[in-house]
Structure 1
Amino acid sequence: MSNNGLEDVVAAETSLSEVDGQAGRLIIRGQSLDHLVGHATYEDVAALLLDDLLDRPVNPHEIKAQLAQARVGVFAHVEALDETLLRLPPFDAMRALVARLADGEDFDTALSLLAAPAVFLPAVLRLQKGQSPLPPNPGLSQSGDILAMLHGTMPSREQIAALDAYLVTISDHGLNASTFASRVVASTKAGLVSSVLAAISALKGPLHGGAPGPVLDMLDAIGSQKNARPWLEAALERGDRLMGFGHRIYRVRDPRADALKSAIAPLIAAGQVDRDRISLAEAVETAALTILKERKPARPLDVNVEFYTALLLDALKFPRQAFTGIFAIGRTIGWIAHAREQAQQGRLIRPRSVYVGPMPEAA
């Protein structure tokens, strides 16, 4: 029997992350997600995942400054954003700039790849709005600088912490489609830039990285708390998928959803988010879970990471067309780590296929 989706096929052994879909647990290099979110920054998790995988040690006390200098270095590529590139969607323009980086497998290449999408995406978004791109501020963290380069103002402590929480949460997640693409390319010894570009291209597909924006579209369409249940029931009657619910792996609630829900709380307390928007989302969540349990009692469908990703990124004033690009900023850590882990194993990934086409007729 064929398995075109490769479910339950073990394609790699990894020390980077474990996704326990039955228990609703995510472990990132020996640390539970619950422990990391709220305690670790983007730089902390980059050091955690990349340690022992590059030609130089990744010092958690030095990586913030090293990454800041890498952002300054890659900013020169922003000059290549011409009218042709700026007519592309932000994600595609960002990918085109990443392709300008010199390929390699060393520490400096890894740093440039971590810095590149964080610099390129804000620059693309500003230029597409008719604004000048802002250079990186080496005195800021990765999350703080992303927000500053996009908005042109210094972000609040709560905003930086919220973006850190998101980037940490999505830094790695097992052998998903984009990570598998990164490992396949790395197994050919093509280099880290090639591996990350393959992963970025896989992420572009709406079945992998395209759900957070439609969550907001759904909330806009519902409009009010009282309209939540009738709108959701009508959507299910049409056979529509409810955005932000259900996951290929998790049979229980996605632990990343709770991590991001907690990360939004300080923004609410500081008055830096639309409370009505959050109240509407909570009403939709409650109504959706009730309806799904009623209609599909045998199928476990719960909130996934996309639901609260949409709310958090919206609260940080990222445009919806940038959501997949922001995801790429966080997941690049995992893509690089998996690429290096695969390269160190030295085995070319070469699965078999089963031919099911017509056979030639006998002479």
Structure 2
Amino acid sequence: MTVIRGLEGIIATTSSISSIIDDSLAYVGYDIDSLAEHASFEEIVFLLWNRKLPIDIELRKFQQELAEHAELPDSFIEQLKIMPLKQVHPMAALRSAVSLLGVYDESAELMDDKSNYLKAVKLQAKMPTIVTAFSRLRKGLEPIGPRKDLSIAANFLYMLTGEEPEPIAIEAFNKALVLHADHELNASTFTARVCVATLSDIYSGITSAIGALKGPLHGGANEAVMKMLTEIGSLENVDAYIKEKMAKKEKIMGFGHRVYRKGDPRAKHLKIMAKKLTDLTGESYLYDMSVKIETMLKQEKNLVPNVDFFSASVYHSLKIDHDLFTPIFAVSRVSGWLAHILEQYDNNRLIRPRADYVGPERLAYIPVDERS
């Protein structure tokens, strides 16, 4: 057998959801640049699930469906309050909360198309509410319920703070959600598909995906980027900090990608928003530091930023707690996970690869009292 560690370059399935071809990302054939500039996140979710952009009446109906299922039951919120809120990582809380949602859904075990679609709507609608509820509860504040007149992007920021967000904040957050929505067969998406390929339920699939996203080599990179920027502190410290990292051969988060070779096509959109937002907040030094790091890594290592690098300063500028960056990733990526889960169900085959055994062979069993 030929062993491909990390399954790099292995084609594991066919999909009509998203594609990465010649360093270009597209959702169902639509280039990410046009979608990032023009589409609402709700349009993207509809596109990923239905393989077409909605017409006006379809979009309004879909928005209404999401709004109707965004609320969390009071008893569910009481369960969240039982968690050790001040010490648990938000991704661990989200993983447990999504699993708990399955307990509350009486149709969780039903596997017909109609039931699975409704579960997808519930999960997409409730994920932002869970993350913002957790954020407020751990600060000793009561959760703020969603408003039916706001988009997913606007609602998230509203539920986080209780204040209606500014248009530029909504634009930035919507753009981030659009850019993170799907990314072909990444680690968390593959995890979700492996899980439901056993014909397990959607809640199990999404819980599995969150577990994979929790790892710093996947979803935790933007939080690590913000930690790095905080440690550096100022523009004049960048040079020494990055050179020391490179000398120690330590990984610099937010750079490089398994798939892209010339650069992540999503990064430039968040770079623009990072510039606008840090100028508004008076923290333009964060953007300047990021650009200097970008220049150094390009010159020294020929590495370019991925989507995580500039998303860190975007979320920071929106006054979002740094450890919520990865849960926000999940709020967006659940749209892609659900699309892939539904696609897996439609043409399912159990995913069961092989391993090349390299351990000892033909050992004879020796009774325990005879072993030395």
- Equivalent residue for 1:288? 297
2:323 corresponds, among 282, 299, 321, to: 321
Q: Does 1:151 align with 2:161?
A: yes
**Distance apart, 1:38 and its partner CA:** 2.0
Q: Which runs of 5+ in 2 are unaligned?
A: 366-372
Aligned pairs for 1:215-294 (under 5 A) are 215-267=225-277, 271-272=280-281, 274-293=283-302
- Over the residues paired in the alignment, what is the CA RMSD in angstroms? 2.1
Shift of 1:361: 4.5
Match of 1:3 in 2: 4
Q: How does 1:71-82 map to 2 (within 5 A)?
A: 71-73=70-72, 77-82=76-81
| Cα distance between partner residues in 2 of 1:230 and 1:334 | 40
- Structure-2 change in CA distance of 1:132 and 1:358 (3 Å): same
Structure 1 range deviating more: 72-81 or 153-162: 72-81
Query: What is the rounded CA distance, in whole Å, between the counterparts of 1:230 and 1:199 in structure 2?
Result: 37
SS at match of 1:106: helix
Equivalences for 1:100-179 in 2 at 5 Å?
100-101=100-101, 102=105, 103=108, 104=110, 105-179=115-189
Question: For residue 262 of structure 2, what is the amino acid of its counterpart?
Answer: V
The residue matched to 1:351 in structure 2 has which SS?
coil
Aligned residue for 2:370?
none
Query: Aligned-pair distance for 1:50?
Result: 0.6
Q: How much does 1:73 deviate?
A: 4.8
**Residues in 2 aligned to 1:165 and 1:231: alpha-carbon distance in whole angstroms:** 31
Kindly tell me the number of residue pairs found equivalent between the two proteins.
349
Tell me the amino acid that sits aligned with residue 259 of structure 2: I
Contact 2:18 2:27 (8 Å CA) reproduced: yes
Structure 2 partner of 1:330:
332
CA contact (8 A) 1:85 1:93 kept: no
Displacement of 1:136: 1.2
Normalised TM-score (structure 1): 0.90
| Distance of aligned partners of 1:166 and 1:11 in 2 relative to their CA distance in 1, 3 Å threshold | same
Name the amino acid aligned to 1:64. Answer: Q
Structure 1 outlier segments of 4+, above 4 Å: 73-76
Residue in structure 2 matched with residue 51 of structure 1 by the alignment: 50
- Give the distance between the partners of 2:233 and 2:88, measured in 1 at CA: 31
The 3-state SS of whatever aligns with 2:342 is helix
Q: Structure 1 residue 85: deviation in Å? A: 4.3
- C-alpha distance in 1, partners of 2:261/2:248? 24
- Of 32-41 and 211-220, deviating more is 211-220
Change (3 A) 1:260 1:287: same
Instruction: Report the Cα distance in structure 2 between the residues aligned to 1:121 and 1:285, rounded to whole angstroms.
Output: 31
The equivalent residue for 1:13 is 14
